[in-house]
Amino acid sequence: MKRILAGAVALAAMGAGSAALAQDIKIGVLYPTSGGGAIYGGPAMVGHNLAVDEINAAGGINGRMLVTVARDSKLNPAAAASAAKEMVTKDGVDVLMGGLSSAVGLAISEVAKQEGVVYLATIPKTIQMTTSKLHPHVFRTSSNTDFEGDAMAQLIKKIGGKKVCDIQLDYAYGHDLSDGLKAALKRHAPDVEIVLNLRPKLRATDYNVFITQIMGAGCDVVTSGLWGSHFVDFAQQASPFGLFNNIKAYISGGEVASHEIAGKMGEDYPPNVISNTYELWYHAVSPNHKVFQEKIAEKSGTKETAMWPVLSYTGVRFYAEAVMKSGGTKSEGIIKALEGMTIDTPVGPRTINAADHQANTGQFWGPMVNKDGFSYKVMDPVTFIPAVIK
Amino acid sequence: MTSPLSKTGMAACLIILILCALTPLLQSDYLIDVVTEILIVALFALSLNIIIGYSGNVSFGHAAYFAIGGYVNAILLTSYGWPLLPSAVAGVFAATLTAAIVAYFCTRLTDIYFAMLTLAFSMLVWAILFKWRSLTNGDDGFTPVHVPAMIDDRTAFFYFTMIVIVVSIAVLWVITHSAFGRSLVAVRENVGRAGFVGIHTRRMRWQAFVIAGFFAGVAGVLFGMYHRGMYVESAFWTQSAQVLIMTLLGGIYSFFGPLIGAAVLFMLERLTNEYTEYWPTVLGSILLVILLFQPDGLVGLGKRIKNKFGGGGSP
């Protein structure tokens, strides 16, 4: 009996601990830092911490320091939702940030809605977040599948593609990107025909059946959103068939132009690929950007840095600006401040649309080519395609 | 296990119940959430133990019925605007029906074949939830779930959950301590012998599976409403493994073992996550220790300590 009572007292004490309020501003951040997602979550935390360190070194926001409360999202929506809720109710965080996969993003968004806390989605791209599942407390500072599909359609038009084979992963992101691309083609190049729709499974490793179908379909452009290891496997299996040499271009979303992929693949990276990325360590758009890249390089221990830090960094910067503008951390004030807000990010100014809470986060797009001095393919020329849907 | 609740046991249950019911008075949203979640996973673990501890089969696919209950209720509440009662009943019914069908096949097998078939069926359920995008929203997860206004409040939902769970546990207690429950234990201990004394062993195992599916469905219904969302991960084999570990940790030879295992593992995971992302390492170590040194779980450990220091009175 005594033990039971002691346990209850301990539990109560834990709850009471959370009531202590400090002047610090607490940011609850959720990236996958274990398992398969850690290769994205690790670099994301680097950018997040840089922003927090910079702001604190400059004296905080109106004298209040930023404190990060981090949890592993485990790439699992229910676990991320529980962790997000815990950060709000136990740690008393003022804002939620992060997320990686679409499902995790939507799960955190739901917690934000229930708890009345603002959530800044820094990586998830699912279009539902800012359309059918939009609510006042959710904002997105990353790109989305409609912007990505629109850029792909513009590129198809630019290179004069006529017949397109579309290969997308059979899950949320693949379906959303495919929809975004189709809608954009109607706007930019209505005469382009999609002759083949292929849907390999998420985490597929064998693409041979799809490769032969593409080879036989006679398309001049292949569009795709195969990301990460999906692209690596697909490219390695398709190259011996000459798939990449027989088409005008392989236009891909999913950020396979990022250095993470190009550097890893080296000589195996196929030709004729046009793709996107949020950040290229060898391409600075401004002196500020260069400084940012150097700081990230220092924190990461390599100058060949990943593209994720800029996303998490931007999220913190948007929030800090909103706290400054609204003069506090109250959600209502933050929401009002974020709507229509423009800030200078390392990769140029970004504005959050007041109507759909989506930032106009465009991306760098371009062909991946061999260049002197690099043992892997790099993007050249680099074109910034802004997030505008006309 | 088959002994009726002793006086001290009864008093302990009552005190825990009262303490749980008083949680909202502490004015901590965090504690309310934690207790709500523990209650839900505890029922989930208790339901699994009907298959493992009582009928003596290991199921690697128990998450399927949890997920079906959650999804059916979530979809009916949200997409079709059903009131809570019929939609929750439909959710539990769907879970039970699926369990009945799966059990029909699984109970023809034993041991590893039984375990593998439960795993196969659960992955089938996972694949359907994943692929049926128009209904379940696939791997984006089914959010939000419209929770009726009556329980759309932290404290109200807490009491609602508590009532449902306490009633469920009471029913489970009665079932496991009835003649049916005792016969099940006989089946677990010696199938051949149980058969000779006239017990229809396969039907008994089938019934145990169906009962487990029913209560996993109840837990799933509550889980979906608590999170305001259902996710395909809830049907994945990792979820089945987690609840299996909870059950083992608490002790499969005791009625309340899984409840204790669920609470301990849940809190351990929560607290570990605050400091490190190496929860899987911690979990693996716990599993090793249980399997190697403490196969009857925390309850067994408690009994051993009690016997050593408390004079060895019979439990």
**A73 in contact with B, Cβ within 8 Å:** no
Q: Residue holding tokens 């508590």? A: B162
Instruction: Spell out which residues of chain A touch residue B27, defining contact as CB-CB under 8 Å.
Output: 15, 19
d(CA B67, CA B241): 14
**A106 in contact with B, Cβ within 8 Å:** yes
d(CA A103, CA A126): 8
**What's the distance, CA B211 to chain centroid?**
11
Do residues B30 and A89 touch, judged by C-beta distance below 8 A?
Answer: yes
**Number of inter-chain CB pairs under 8 A, A vs B:** 106
pLDDT given for residue A355 in this prediction? 93
What is the residue-level pLDDT of chain A in tens, covering all 390 positions?
A: 445 444 444 444 444 444 334 489 999 999 988 877 788 889 999 999 999 999 999 999 988 999 999 998 888 888 899 999 999 999 999 999 999 888 899 999 999 999 999 999 999 998 999 999 999 999 999 999 999 999 999 999 999 999 999 999 988 889 999 999 999 999 999 999 999 999 998 888 999 999 999 999 999 999 999 998 899 999 999 999 999 999 999 999 999 999 989 999 999 999 999 999 999 999 999 999 999 999 999 999 999 999 999 999 999 999 999 999 999 999 999 999 999 999 999 999 999 999 999 999 999 999 999 999 999 999 999 999 999 887
The predicted-structure confidence for A173-216, as pLDDT tens digits, reads as follows 899 999 999 999 999 999 999 999 999 988 889 999 999 999 99
Do residues A274 and A366 touch, judged by C-beta distance below 8 A?
Answer: yes
Q: Do residue B138 and residue A172 have CB atoms under 8 angstroms apart?
A: yes
Do residues A106 and A125 touch, judged by C-beta distance below 8 A?
Answer: no
Instruction: Spell out which residues of chain A touch residue B123, defining contact as CB-CB under 8 Å.
Output: none
Alpha helices per DSSP H over chain A: 2-17, 38-57, 77-89, 102-115, 145-159, 172-188, 208-217, 228-238, 259-265, 287-300, 308-326, 331-338
pLDDT given for residue A107 in this prediction? 93
Q: Residue holding tokens 């992101």? A: A173
d(CA A302, CA A305): 6
Q: Do residue A81 and residue B16 have CB atoms under 8 angstroms apart?
A: no
Preceding peptide of A271 cis, ω within 30°: no
What percent of chain B lies above the pLDDT cut of 90?
66
* Residue B14: exposure state from Cβ atoms within 10 A (0-12, 13-18, ≥19): exposed
Q: Which is it for the CA torsion B227, B230, B236, B237, positive or negative?
A: positive
Confidence of residue B313 (pLDDT cuts 50, 70, 90): very low
Q: What is the ipTM of this complex?
A: 0.83
Q: How many CB atoms lie within 10 A of CB A66?
A: 21
Within 8 A by CB and 6+ apart from B169, the residues are B42, B43, B46, B259
Q: Do residue A34 and residue B30 have CB atoms under 8 angstroms apart?
A: no
Q: Which is it for the CA torsion B78, B79, B81, B84, positive or negative?
A: negative
Minimum distance, in Å, between the CA of residue A15 and any CA atom of chain B: 6
Q: Do residue B279 and residue A34 have CB atoms under 8 angstroms apart?
A: yes
Minimum distance, in Å, between the CA of residue A122 and any CA atom of chain B: 17
Instruction: Spell out which residues of chain B touch residue A126, defining contact as CB-CB under 8 Å.
Output: 140
Axis crossing angle, helix B84-106 with helix B111-131, rounded to the nearest 10: 140
Q: How many CB atoms lie within 10 A of CB B88?
A: 24
CA distances from B131 to B74, B99, B151, B306 (A): 17, 21, 31, 51
| CA-only gyration radius of chain A, Å | 22
**A11 in contact with B, Cβ within 8 Å:** yes
Q: Do residue B227 and residue A81 have CB atoms under 8 angstroms apart?
A: yes
Instruction: Spell out which residues of chain A touch residue B19, defining contact as CB-CB under 8 Å.
Output: 4, 8
pLDDT at B122 over 80: yes
Instruction: Spell out which residues of chain A touch residue B141, defining contact as CB-CB under 8 Å.
Output: 77, 103, 106-107
Instruction: Spell out which residues of chain A touch residue B30, defining contact as CB-CB under 8 Å.
Output: 14-15, 18, 86, 89-90
Q: Do residue A102 and residue B139 have CB atoms under 8 angstroms apart?
A: yes
Across-strand partners of B216? none
| CA-only gyration radius of chain B, Å | 19
- For residue A86, give the nearest of B26, B144, B270 by CB distance: B270
Minimum distance, in Å, between the CA of residue A118 and any CA atom of chain B: 17
* Residue B203: exposure state from Cβ atoms within 10 A (0-12, 13-18, ≥19): exposed
pLDDT given for residue B4 in this prediction? 60
Q: How many CA atoms lie within 13 A of B164 on its CB side?
A: 27
Query: CATH for A146-277+364-385?
Result: 3.40.50.2300
Q: Do residue A77 and residue B15 have CB atoms under 8 angstroms apart?
A: no
| The domains spanning A21-143+290-359 and A146-277+364-385 adopt the same CATH topology | yes
d(CA B22, CA B13): 14
**Structural element, H or E, at residue B75:** helix B63-78
Structure tokens that stand for A186 in this block? 């109607």
Q: Residue holding tokens 């599942």? A: A133
Within 8 A by CB and 6+ apart from B275, the residues are none
Q: Which amino acid is at A46?
A: V
Structure tokens that stand for B255 in this block? 């009625």
Q: How many CA atoms lie within 13 A of B143 on its CB side?
A: 30
Q: Which amino acid is at A152?
A: M
Q: Do residue B231 and residue A78 have CB atoms under 8 angstroms apart?
A: yes
Do residues B117 and B123 touch, judged by C-beta distance below 8 A?
Answer: no
- For residue A34, give the nearest of B223, B227, B277 by CB distance: B277
Most A-contacting residue of B140, B226, B238, B256 (CB-CB within 10 A), to test interface:
B140
Instruction: Spell out which residues of chain B touch residue A82, defining contact as CB-CB under 8 Å.
Output: 37, 227, 270
Q: Do residue A72 and residue B229 have CB atoms under 8 angstroms apart?
A: no
d(CA A273, CA A252): 7
pLDDT given for residue A13 in this prediction? 45
pLDDT at B270 over 50: yes
* Residue A63: exposure state from Cβ atoms within 10 A (0-12, 13-18, ≥19): exposed
pLDDT given for residue A170 in this prediction? 87
Q: Residue holding tokens 């379906």? A: A175
Instruction: Spell out which residues of chain A touch residue B138, defining contact as CB-CB under 8 Å.
Output: 171-172, 175
Q: Do residue B233 and residue A78 have CB atoms under 8 angstroms apart?
A: yes
d(CA B6, CA B313): 13
**Structural element, H or E, at residue B302:** helix B297-309
**Structural element, H or E, at residue B66:** helix B63-78
Query: Looking at domain A21-143+290-359, which CATH architecture does it have?
Result: 3-Layer(aba) Sandwich (3.40)
| Residue range B204-214: mean pLDDT, rounded | 95
Work out the angle at residue A266's Cα, subtended by the Cα atoms of residues A261 and A272, and round it to the nearest 5 degrees. 75
d(CA A236, CA A230): 10
Q: Do residue B30 and residue A172 have CB atoms under 8 angstroms apart?
A: no
Across chain B, mean pLDDT equals: 91
Q: Which residues of A328-347 are buried (b: 16+ CB within 10 A; e: fewer)?
A: bbebebbbbbbeebebebbb
Q: Do residue B228 and residue A77 have CB atoms under 8 angstroms apart?
A: no
CA distances from A115 to A76, A87, B228 (A): 20, 11, 12
pLDDT given for residue B193 in this prediction? 92
Q: Which residues of A201-231 are buried (b: 16+ CB within 10 A; e: fewer)?
A: eeebeebeebbeebbeeebbbbbbbbbbebb
Most B-contacting residue of A1, A26, A85 (CB-CB within 10 A), to test interface:
A85
**Residue B10 DSSP SS3:** helix
d(CA A18, CA A297): 36
Within 8 A by CB and 6+ apart from A320, the residues are A51, A55, A61, A66
pLDDT given for residue A40 in this prediction? 87
Across-strand partners of B142? B230
d(CA B221, CA B73): 6
Q: Do residue B233 and residue A102 have CB atoms under 8 angstroms apart?
A: no
**What's the distance, CA A164 to chain centroid?**
26
pLDDT given for residue B32 in this prediction? 94
Q: Do residue A18 and residue B28 have CB atoms under 8 angstroms apart?
A: yes
pLDDT given for residue A8 in this prediction? 46
Instruction: Spell out which residues of chain B touch residue A76, defining contact as CB-CB under 8 Å.
Output: 231, 233
pLDDT at B164 over 90: yes
Minimum distance, in Å, between the CA of residue A348 and any CA atom of chain B: 31
- For residue B37, give the nearest of A18, A33, A82 by CB distance: A82
Work out the angle at residue A137's Cα, subtended by the Cα atoms of residues A104 and A120, and round it to the nearest 5 degrees. 50
Instruction: Spell out which residues of chain B touch residue A109, defining contact as CB-CB under 8 Å.
Output: 143
**Structural domain boundaries of chain A?**
21-143+290-359, 146-277+364-385
Minimum distance, in Å, between the CA of residue A45 and any CA atom of chain B: 13
The predicted-structure confidence for A56-78, as pLDDT tens digits, reads as follows 999 999 889 999 999 988 888 88
Main-chain phi, psi angles of A26, to 5 degrees:
-100, 125
Minimum distance, in Å, between the CA of residue A19 and any CA atom of chain B: 8
**A83 in contact with B, Cβ within 8 Å:** yes
- For residue A110, give the nearest of B137, B138, B144 by CB distance: B144
Structure tokens that stand for B127 in this block? 């694949």
pLDDT given for residue A9 in this prediction? 44
pLDDT at B60 over 80: yes
Q: Looking only at Cα atoms, what is the longest distance across chain A? A: 79
Q: Residue holding tokens 């912007």? A: A147
Instruction: Spell out which residues of chain A touch residue B231, defining contact as CB-CB under 8 Å.
Output: 76-78, 103, 107
Do residues A48 and A28 touch, judged by C-beta distance below 8 A?
Answer: no
d(CA A129, CA A106): 6
Among B54, B58, B57, residue whose Cα is nearest residue B185? B54
The predicted-structure confidence for B69-81, as pLDDT tens digits, reads as follows 999 999 999 999 9
Q: If you count them, how many residues does chain A have?
A: 390
Do residues A270 and A240 touch, judged by C-beta distance below 8 A?
Answer: no
